[in-house]
Structure 1
């Protein structure tokens, strides 16, 4: 026996801090010049173990040297190389496996260099679990960052969740632990068992880089082998890569994939079922983009995905990750883009997740004044740590590369930008200059946007940012954060507040509609009527509108046309396109049965027509983000609650929008239009086909030679006119 009792005890009790120096194949110190090798392996309950080369040649038998199942023996090898074992058991069974400890490391010095520098942009190819061929054997390479751990073991069905069997090799320079396990592959469930710096064993941890996870409530990571997919969406991706998204129509249908529609058993649709149902529906409705609430793995359904524990794994709720890839490709073939909500602002403290991952505050801050989010009872990423920034930047790149997503809507950006967000005095730590700005988060957002836009032309990033932080959607080289677009939360708040008022009082709040144009072109804005407006007791959009049922429907139709004529890209949460009555709940499907009724059909038809007009008329989209595309025509008619403006684009017919927000019919209403001539009424929200009263202008308006028009303006209605001559 060549090992002392202390070393044997450390091995069999999973306390050996360098198992690769003991297990596997090692030169035998035999006191002469003849080089011989000895092999050691741990096989609990085995009675006999024989070693073979990978080619199948027997090279020696191993002898049990400890009751716990540690075997040792000389092997007839000319050089150090991987070997296989065949273990026999009392019941007559045998078990054959290649020796993980006889293989060399997979990661190399350049990986160490870029990992240490925090500049590795292929982390998702190196960390996590990857099916590879290594030193003549096929298997899985596991790698995880846990620099403060005393010991890390990968455990799973393949080793009976035995922490002694596959203790990992630590790369001291980087704090990465790795091991290559031969003879396992796609579909293996696994976790990491980590012993913290205090010697305590942590709850089993899921892999931060796992490509696939178990379906909740189970939380193990799943080995996901390389995809056989050959993408066929080059035309779609090239179109957006060559385009200026600010000057294209972007109308986004925001979807919670778990409740858009249920299957016949009341369960979730799979990605393939969604492709069959959702893509044709969105295409028919005229939207250009589908945006999913977060689809990375998360443990708690009511969080809607905003408390993710698996940033690299599409949730198992909707099937295999390849199903999501098929969905994206199907959308691209139909001409639709796919956006996903991305949540780098915080993460939950579930025991199997990132929280105190190696027994220390590794991904988060140790100090709760920086590392704990009071709004959501979650942890906050430590944006000052290069490894954490690298983890997040790589994740953004991963979704663009592996799943061809067209963009990321970044959640809760304001909470990242301000150190005092939702905190009272004394509950936060100022930055190095004494300010409230989170300079580390700012640098992270700039880096993320630079890398994503630089490596994936055509992708869009959108910030949910609710403050007046300057230049959110300006390039980094111009002093901006580098996002492509910013959600216009002011538009949403002001207009919904206005429309909740009784029409008789709206004349006193005219500025709630007009004020937004004071800043409408300071950023590249998206106008969001999102899920946040129809949850937590806020009711549906329909029920936010003042008045009786007829007025609610009329006001909602007028509002939608107002919004589609307003400068900025559009976003509408699912169900609102047909005037869902009840507040949204993730527990049930949308109320599709409402489409049996005329008023709901009318709203749906209107949204479809608005999208088609928005896409077909350059004046309505080509200058969405530039002031030259907008002019007020009537801004001071507060007493009448009437607003009129024109939308313009080079070499395109001018479009005029007139919105009226009282239930009074205004006949022979005189407005001086920007051009004399004939204006075609291309949309009227009060048309009978939409459920309105039919007040209009017989399809056309003729001005006098001075451009004065005599209009019939419908009650609670919006007109869209197009200059014909």
Structure 2
């Protein structure tokens, strides 16, 4: 055996960074020579394009073979003997590159808006041979191999070639959909990293396993579209927020599958009158207790509940039931699990290298480097992916405040200022503006919503006017103030009257969603019902009044699962919500109330058309703190599209309560939260009341205790 060149040993030892330079077909003098590395093969021969064969000499005992092709062939296969088995196989190192020059240009520029069509694992046919093309970004790696079911998870067998600014690629013939795989990476200092899952994987194993799974994402059935204009500012928008793992369980506390949820969830949410369902993050994540907010597979719907096709079936069922679907999306941070994005190529590729920038103290997670072109391109493409491939109707972006501020939840001296010395994260701001610009340009009927807990200006205003470009913003201030108010004993509420009034000072500064989300029913905060003071009658009456106040208030609505029937205990992600409570009249009454509020909200233009417009709201009673009464008019575009909303947050009945209205004549009491149908005492106005014919018409009303009534003028 003659002395081999150094790169032959680099192949044998699994450290060659350009395997195509040595393996595959090469011209030596007037001969076409093939080199192949097949560990454990006893012998190998080349099969020419016309079936001729020629043995390849073993040039190293590790499994390195070389020899001329028969009769000057330029296309070939290999036949190898492994023990008693003889197999014919295609040589991965005879195929052309996967990435085009144009792909590399767009990837380098950061404008490849569909990286999911290029990176990751994709079934393809090259030179008439079926297989899988693998592409991954690892610019600082010394060597990258793809390992999986097709090569005994041996990183020596399929080292990849590097293209452009650090994109590694390889076509593996006869690899198949369903194969499991990862990437084996050697860092620039020669260190072997933990096997990495594919950042662009479209499916993954069920935790605690972490391998990526080859999926032909082009064949995922595309769900039918949602109804038109579901996200418009002038449309009703009532969102049912759902954690798929605990909405409903079966058997011995087992998850429902996506398809089982498709049979139950859309029908329930539609019957309840919701317009949207919003799923807590479904991107693949290793830890159940993160609720999906620490994702490792941004392009893969979690395999806990089934396959990508199954997830698409759930979206289709929601759309078929008239529901739009929103996803919680997490571009603010990611976990440092060894198989994930952290230290991906041996360096801080996706995150910042400095922990003062690159790690969240609250969650122990890593922060994306929004100043890196490849990272922002990855995230923007991921946002577009969910709308493109699964027909998702919008994304709610988690923890936006943590992205906007460099000093978010950090002590003095524990953060790095921006280039102007300020605390604003300029790169994150640019990323969010680009994200919204791209999303609305490609999907104008979709929407985005920001969970932003500070007073950052113009979150839901257009980018061209200096805003961040979101469609909506969660109104966290409204949620905190009103829950604080309703949690007080009624005798003390007069001292907190401003908690209700204050929100209307800024209610139209953004396109607001009023959120009663999962965050408000965990970590010792108690359930929404659990915050209500008094005996059982008062607690349930308070809850009915509070929900009615919410639906009468300007802004779109969001309610976490279980809240719609008065869940007693805090939410626990390991168990189903307490459906058995519906056997009790008080809880079924709350459910009836929410169903009717949803239907009324959708039916009355006054309650939704100008949700985000000052012109749609007028105070009527603001100064009755002693009686805990508020009243206002909601307005639609039509001159007589009006709804009078009156809330009484005291346990007293008020009779002959005078309220001015814009029109004389009959006003119909279209909703009363004190109805016996909801568990109330049936105090009210017997369906209608007539406004005086004075210059300023007034209604003389009976206002029920701890309740709200809605009245509309006769058409």
Aligned ranges 1:481-630 → 2 under 5 Å? 481-630=468-617
Contact 1:36 1:77 in 2 (8 A): no
How many residue pairs get aligned? The number is 712
> Of the candidates 188, 195, 202, which is equivalent to residue 197 of structure 1?
188
Q: How far apart are the structure 2 equivalents of 1:56 and 1:538?
A: 75
Contact 1:633 1:674 in 2 (8 A): no
Q: What displacement does 1:703 show?
A: 2.0
Say yes or no: does 1:146 pair with 2:138. yes
**Which residue pairs with 2:179 in the alignment?**
188
CA separation of 1:226 and 1:341: change in aligned 2, threshold 3 A: closer
CA separation of 1:290 and 1:2: change in aligned 2, threshold 3 A: farther
CA separation of 1:79 and 1:322: change in aligned 2, threshold 3 A: same
Q: What displacement does 1:228 show?
A: 3.4
Q: How far apart are the structure 2 equivalents of 1:223 and 1:265?
A: 31
Say yes or no: does 1:709 pair with 2:660. no
Q: How far apart are the structure 2 equivalents of 1:518 and 1:58?
A: 85
**Which residue pairs with 2:667 in the alignment?**
679
Q: How far apart are the structure 2 equivalents of 1:487 and 1:300?
A: 26
Q: How far apart are the structure 1 equivalents of 2:248 and 2:231?
A: 34
Kindly report structure 1 stretches of 4+ aligned residues shifted beyond 6 Å. none
**Which residue pairs with 2:708 in the alignment?**
718
Aligned ranges 1:36-51 → 2 under 5 Å? 36-51=31-46
1:232-277 Cα offsets, whole Å, 9 max, x none, are: 625x36x23xx77100000000000000001224211111100100
CA separation of 1:232 and 1:369: change in aligned 2, threshold 3 A: closer
Say yes or no: does 1:73 pair with 2:67. yes
Q: Secondary structure at the match of 1:570?
A: strand
1:272-301 Cα offsets, whole Å, 9 max, x none, are: 100100010001000000000000000000
**Which residue pairs with 2:57 in the alignment?**
63
TM-score (norm 1): 0.96
**Which residue pairs with 1:395 in the alignment?**
382
Contact 1:26 1:80 in 2 (8 A): no
Q: How far apart are the structure 2 equivalents of 1:232 and 1:529?
A: 29
Q: Secondary structure at the match of 1:409?
A: strand
Aligned ranges 1:119-134 → 2 under 5 Å? 119-134=111-126
1:432-459 Cα offsets, whole Å, 9 max, x none, are: 1111110100000000001000011211
Aligned Cα RMSD in Å?
1.4
Q: Secondary structure at the match of 1:373?
A: coil
Contact 2:223 2:315 in 1 (8 A): no
**Which residue pairs with 1:32 in the alignment?**
none
Aligned ranges 1:404-483 → 2 under 5 Å? 404-483=391-470
CA separation of 1:2 and 1:403: change in aligned 2, threshold 3 A: farther
Contact 2:220 2:308 in 1 (8 A): no
Q: How far apart are the structure 2 equivalents of 1:340 and 1:481?
A: 19
Gaps of 5+ in 1: 30-34
Q: How far apart are the structure 1 equivalents of 2:410 and 2:53?
A: 67
Say yes or no: does 1:52 pair with 2:47. yes
Contact 1:653 1:724 in 2 (8 A): no
Q: How far apart are the structure 2 equivalents of 1:157 and 1:87?
A: 19
Q: What displacement does 1:42 show?
A: 1.5
Q: Secondary structure at the match of 2:42?
A: strand
Aligned ranges 1:252-267 → 2 under 5 Å? 252-267=239-254
Q: What displacement does 1:80 show?
A: 3.9
Contact 1:227 1:322 in 2 (8 A): no
1:19-75 Cα offsets, whole Å, 9 max, x none, are: 11111111123xxxxx3111111122211212224x672342112111111111111
CA separation of 1:230 and 1:421: change in aligned 2, threshold 3 A: closer
CA separation of 1:508 and 1:77: change in aligned 2, threshold 3 A: farther
Q: Secondary structure at the match of 1:246?
A: coil
Aligned ranges 1:218-233 → 2 under 5 Å? 218-229=209-220, 231=222, 233=224
Contact 1:142 1:178 in 2 (8 A): yes
CA separation of 1:381 and 1:229: change in aligned 2, threshold 3 A: closer
1:526-582 Cα offsets, whole Å, 9 max, x none, are: 000000000011110001111111111000001111100100000000000000001
**Which residue pairs with 2:105 in the alignment?**
113
Q: What displacement does 1:97 show?
A: 1.8
CA separation of 1:335 and 1:27: change in aligned 2, threshold 3 A: same
CA separation of 1:79 and 1:94: change in aligned 2, threshold 3 A: closer
**Which residue pairs with 2:79 in the alignment?**
86
Q: What displacement does 1:89 show?
A: 2.3
Say yes or no: does 1:696 pair with 2:684. yes
Gaps of 5+ in 2: none
CA separation of 1:244 and 1:556: change in aligned 2, threshold 3 A: closer
1:481-540 Cα offsets, whole Å, 9 max, x none, are: 010000000110000000111110100110100110000001000000000000011110
